[in-house]
Amino acid sequence: MENSKRYEAGMDVMKKLFSEEVRGGMAGMKEISPDFWEMIVSFGFGDTYSREALSLSQKEIITLTALITQGAFDQLKVHLEAALKIGLTKEEITEIIIHCSAYTGFPKAVQAMGIAGEVFNGT
Amino acid sequence: MENSKRYEAGMDVMKKLFSEEVRGGMAGMKEISPDFWEMIVSFGFGDTYSREALSLSQKEIITLTALITQGAFDQLKVHLEAALKIGLTKEEITEIIIHCSAYTGFPKAVQAMGIAGEVFNGT
Amino acid sequence: MENSKRYEAGMDVMKKLFSEEVRGGMAGMKEISPDFWEMIVSFGFGDTYSREALSLSQKEIITLTALITQGAFDQLKVHLEAALKIGLTKEEITEIIIHCSAYTGFPKAVQAMGIAGEVFNGT
Amino acid sequence: MENSKRYEAGMDVMKKLFSEEVRGGMAGMKEISPDFWEMIVSFGFGDTYSREALSLSQKEIITLTALITQGAFDQLKVHLEAALKIGLTKEEITEIIIHCSAYTGFPKAVQAMGIAGEVFNGT
Amino acid sequence: MENSKRYEAGMDVMKKLFSEEVRGGMAGMKEISPDFWEMIVSFGFGDTYSREALSLSQKEIITLTALITQGAFDQLKVHLEAALKIGLTKEEITEIIIHCSAYTGFPKAVQAMGIAGEVFNGT
Amino acid sequence: MENSKRYEAGMDVMKKLFSEEVRGGMAGMKEISPDFWEMIVSFGFGDTYSREALSLSQKEIITLTALITQGAFDQLKVHLEAALKIGLTKEEITEIIIHCSAYTGFPKAVQAMGIAGEVFNGT
């Protein structure tokens, strides 16, 4: 497929995952580096989330786990919101974090659960 | 529940995940530290995998992602085998690794895919 | 031992480590996920800190090192306070961080020492 | 640009970086997952190494540092060979590792220097 | 060389890298632990940055990459400023982060690019 | 103190920690990079292990924890042997690993316990 199709596919997926407000914030990246923004949309969302063998909620389970395991808590909030938006329940999200605790250790799981609590209260 | 129930629940789950041979190898831990073995079974499997809100395959998606993200390739092989045993397809597994690549970087995803290739060939 | 004993053992240890105020903050976790709170107390404190072969101060040395090495600075403050509460001196704590620097690199050690400075000044 | 151009750009860069033998080994990935192979070539090499603002040797400095810092020693050998192939000297490579030691800690730097020693002896 | 020379070498390099204000902030470490401050200056800057086989800008490329890869975003800002001060351009810095994305994954690269944007705007 | 004293202090500590055979293996680093070898001895051992506020066994507890937490299993074996040589018991070592499990997650603790088992059997 052509490159413009990858970008479009990424933008389509981002609409499913994120609110308009969140997408607006993300697009601020365009002003720092238009090329990096293009990569984020085309590769980071287009090439990955638009694939069809896994469901969007399976992909968000992977995303949440990868963010928690590497301690990328700065990005965790928007993906917790995305997880709720595409249909994962609060219970499923707390269970993901509980399962993580055995693999990542408690410090990361505790921090993740605290952020989940904030997201749930804002919902 | 009593502690012996936690241990039993862990052993039950391990039977679903691992072949007899793999479980025999794991039990070698009992001779190094019986207490640590008890924790692995009761907490690492009993308290986590026997919970009911997520399916076993959702839990293996979390486990595989957590192992790949932290570079725990030593444990990856048995969990790739477990993933196949409980019904994830080879295609789903390669898709998990592909989705990880955007979040963990290529070095870890490439190493994971190489190990998946070995597991698939041994199947 | 029964599960309720594990929880009690965890609560007992937490009283030795943390001030009432800190424990109150931690217990906020109960409202997000009662099951995760039970795991934190029973496994994260009961099964580990209540074991007897190592002293509480040896265990806090391990805890501080594990938090610094993984960059879990969010949890570091309360464990620096815990270390002081159970009898590690400020000098011993700065020496732990100095020894870490060779193993974790300077960025993590510098960040840890900065947080230690804040904790020492609040004491 | 079209996607086929990204793939070509990746293949061109891989020829500059790796020997025919190494590229042959890498291409084994194609049989495990053709789609992942396409991503490695098009994104992992095409979109990154074929950019022009940094020189190839600056990019290998980044690559070596990122691999050492995350402990991705499995991939380090081929990139140490690539670094020599594109013109970094043995002295520059040992200096990269020495500089890393302050930022990553000694365990990772020592392991990297050991692998560099093996690569230098094989040269 | 004598130890006092290592300290002097470190102080000289720090003048090249950091503004007077930043150096003043760093020296606050002296009050928490004078010995650790001495190590930071003598080893962390003297023994590493004053070596001659790599240029200062090559060393900052290594430093930025090591910080991004380990998620040490607390230290990233001053080293982004240092990179600009010793002559790396904004374009080169965004390219370093873009190249990192394939090796560290997008979460760390995105966070780094956001901080770079703040530093660029403050320049 | 003069630099030669730092090197001597490092060599003295290494004699306390490692067998002649292990030290011989480590010294192979001298041929790859004499300067890096000097840093390892003078900073990595001299500046850290020869400090007096913590005991050698407290320092090995820190070292083992830092290695396990970052997954530096390549260096773990010699430091497990060092821990035994300076007087930590097998029981204390297994307890260190058990305590780590809550902070680092089970994959790293399991791998560490396996290596400890090998070291104990070789003793």
Predicted pLDDT of residue E19:
96
Residues A63-103 have pLDDT tens digits of: 999 999 999 999 999 999 999 999 999 999 999 999 999 99
Phi, psi of E46 (to 5 degrees): -65, -55
What pLDDT shows up at residue F1? 60
Q: Min CA distance, A66 vs chain E (Å)? A: 10
Q: What are C10's two structure tokens?
A: 């965890």
Are B100 and B108 a contacting pair, CB within 8 Å? yes
Mean of pLDDT values over C53-77:
97
Predicted local distance difference test score (pLDDT) of residue F3: 79
Residue C50 CA to residue E39 CA, distance in Å, equals 37
Please check whether residue D105 is in contact with residue C104, taking contact to mean a CB–CB distance below 8 angstroms. yes
Position F123 scores a pLDDT of 60
- In this predicted structure, the answer to whether residue D123 has a pLDDT above a threshold of 70 is no
Q: Using a CB–CB cutoff of 8 Å, tell me whether F39 touches chain D.
A: yes
Is-contact A86 A56, C-beta < 8 A?
yes
Kindly tell me if the per-residue pLDDT of C123 is higher than 70.
no
pLDDT on residue C122: 87
Q: Which fold has domain A54-123?
A: AhpD-like (1.20.1290)
The domains of chain C are located at 1-53, 54-123
Instruction: Quote the minimal CA–CA distance from A122 to chain E in Å.
Output: 23
Three-state SS across C27-40?
CCHHHHCHHHHHHH
B72 and F107 within 8 Å at the Cβ level: the answer is yes
pLDDT in tens, C10-48: 999 999 999 999 999 999 999 999 999 999 999 999 999
More confidently predicted of C95 and C1: C95
Return the HEC string of chain A.
CEHHHHHHHHHHHHHHHCCHHHHHHHCCHHHHCHHHHHHHHHHHHHHHHCCCCCCHHHHHHHHHHHHHHCCCHHHHHHHHHHHHHCCCCHHHHHHHHHHHHHHHCHHHHHHHHHHHHHHHHHC
- pLDDT for D2: 74
- Assess whether pLDDT exceeds 90 at residue C2: no
* pLDDT for the residue numbered C119: 97
Tens digit of each residue's pLDDT (9 = 90 or more) over F60-77: 999 999 999 999 999 999
**Bridge partner residues of D2 (DSSP):** A2
| pLDDT single digits (tens) A19-66 | 999 999 999 999 999 999 999 999 999 999 999 999 999 999 999 999
pLDDT reported for residue A58: 98
Phi, psi of F111 (to 5 degrees): -65, -40
Long-range contact pairs involving C74-83 (C-beta distance under 8 Å, separation at least 24): C74/A73, C74/A107, C74/A111, C75/A107, C75/A110, C75/A111, C76/C112, C76/C115, C77/C115, C77/C118, C77/C119, C78/C18, C78/C22, C79/C17, C80/C115, C80/C116, C80/C119, C81/C18, C81/C19, C81/C22, C81/C119, C82/C17, C82/C18, C83/C57
Q: What is the pLDDT of residue E3?
A: 79
Determine, for residues F32 and D116 on separate chains, whether the beta-carbon distance falls below 8 Å.
yes
Q: What is the DSSP string of F83-114?
A: HHHTT--HHHHHHHHHHHHHHH-HHHHHHHHH
> Which E positions 75-104 lie with beta carbon below 8 A of chain B?
101-104
Separation of alpha carbons D35 and E86, rounded Å: 42
Residue A1 confidence (pLDDT): 60
Q: Under a CB-based contact definition with an 8 Å cutoff, are residues C85 and C93 in contact?
A: no
Partner residue opposite D43 with nearest CB, options A35, A43, A51? A43
pLDDT at E123: 59
The predicted pLDDT at position A17 comes to 98
pLDDT above 90 coverage of chain C, percent: 95
Taking a C-beta distance cutoff of 8 angstroms, is the pair A39, A7 a contact? Answer: no
For chain F, say whether E38 makes contact (Cβ under 8 Å): no
Average pLDDT, chain B: 96
Tokens of A53: 């063998």
Residues of chain E with pLDDT under 70: 1, 123
CB count within 10 Å of CB F19 equals 13
Locus of tokens 């990595």: F44
Torsion angle of C-alpha atoms B30, B32, B38, B43, degrees rounded to 10: -120
CA distance F72 to chain D (A): 7
Total residues belonging to chain C: 123
- Output the six-digit token pair for E81: 């400023």
CA distance E116 to E122: 10
Successive 10-residue mean pLDDT values, chain F, 123 residues = 88 97 95 97 96 96 98 97 98 98 98 98 80
What ipTM, to 2 d.p.?
A: 0.96
Distance from C-alpha of B113 to C-alpha of E90, rounded to nearest angstrom = 36
Interface C-D, measured as beta-carbon pairs within 8 A, has a size of 15
Q: Is F2 helix (H, G, I), strand (E, B) or coil?
A: strand
Closest by CA position to A56, among listed A2, A98, A14, A20? A14
Instruction: Report d(CA F56, CA F84) in Å as an integer.
Output: 11
Show residues of chain D in contact with A35, CB under 8 Å: 51
Find all residues with CB under 8 Å of D91, minimum gap 6, and list them: E53
pLDDT in tens, B70-119: 999 999 999 999 999 999 999 999 999 999 999 999 999 999 999 999 99
Q: Note if the pTM is more than 0.80.
A: yes
Q: Which two tokens stand for residue E110?
A: 């995105």
Which string of DSSP letters, residue by residue, matches chain B? Answer: -BHHHHHHHHHHHHHHHS-HHHHHHHTTHHHH-HHHHHHIIIIIIIIHHT-SSS-HHHHHHHHHHHHHHTT-HHHHHHHHHHHHHTT--HHHHHHHHHHHHHHH-HHHHHHHHHHHHHHHHH-
In this complex, which of B71, B98, B105 lies closest to D33 when CB atoms are compared? B98
Band the pLDDT of A3: cuts 50, 70, 90.
confident
What are F90's two structure tokens?
Answer: 């097998």
**Tokens coding D16:** 């500059």
| E3 against D64, higher pLDDT | D64
Q: What is the pLDDT of residues A26-35, one digit of tens each?
A: 999 999 999 9
For residue A107, give the chain F residue with the closest CA: F103
| A117 vs C: CB within 8 A | yes
Question: So what's the pLDDT on residue B75?
Answer: 97
Place of tokens 């995105």: E110
Q: Which chains touch A (3 or more CB pairs under 8 A)?
A: B, C, D, E, F
Mean pLDDT (whole number) for D97-119: 98
Q: Looking at chain C, which runs of residues are DSSP E strands?
A: none
Taking the C-alpha atoms of residue F99 and residue F112, their distance in angstroms, rounded to an integer, is 12
Q: Residue F66 and residue D105: Cβ atoms within 8 Å?
A: yes
CB contact under 8 A, A105 and C66: yes
